[in-house]
A and B are shown apart, each in its own frame.
Chain A
């Protein structure tokens, strides 16, 4: 069964450092998303991506965040200068009908 794959599964980074979270969506899907889940809180939408551009973003997705689909298969989320409050589980999802989620990357900013 096709699945969304995210790497790494865990990442620890120092405050102020840049991180790139990687995702391989399901191959025939057209819509791509990043969500995050701060520990103990609900899953929150960050950004959606369609036709090689951002289609929607939330208030959370400020200038420190960016997304790319560099090679037609990978879908990345970059956080330029991480803050302690960026510590969360980050989920990638892709959709053609309904969204399928990856296993998540747990980001810890120290």
Chain B
């Protein structure tokens, strides 16, 4: 069975500092990996995805993520955080791009001035 672990429930980062949100997955084959962001009261917005190929993927809003098969990880990064990035971030894994997704519990990002 698939599973996703996001070990950090909350992270606080100063505005302008770099960010890394951790995601580890458990899946037997090559996974399809996603990061979604949820702003308060909003739906889930796709930030980026990894299906195959280059293990460093670029997404919207300046985010990137790196797939590391040896570590079963798909960490999300941003070099300089903006106050508007404060939201909850969810990592998810699927068998295919359109298959059902298994989500992690999410990491709440707080941005301090």
Of B32, B42, B49, B98, which contacts A103 at CB under 8 A? B42
- A35-53 at interface with B (beta carbon < 8 Å): 35, 41-45, 48
Q: Could you tell me if A45 and B43 are in contact, using CB atoms closer than 8 angstroms? A: no
Quick one: CB contact mask for A83-108 with B, threshold 8 Å, 1 for yes?
A: 00000000101011111111110000
Q: Could you tell me if B100 and A42 are in contact, using CB atoms closer than 8 angstroms? A: no
Determine if B46 is an interface residue (Cβ-Cβ < 8 Å): yes
What are 23 of the A-B contact pairs (CB < 8 Å)? A4-B43, A30-B98, A33-B100, A42-B90, A43-B44, A43-B92, A45-B101, A48-B99, A48-B100, A91-B43, A91-B44, A95-B97, A97-B98, A98-B32, A98-B34, A98-B49, A98-B98, A99-B34, A100-B46, A101-B45, A101-B46, A103-B42, A103-B43
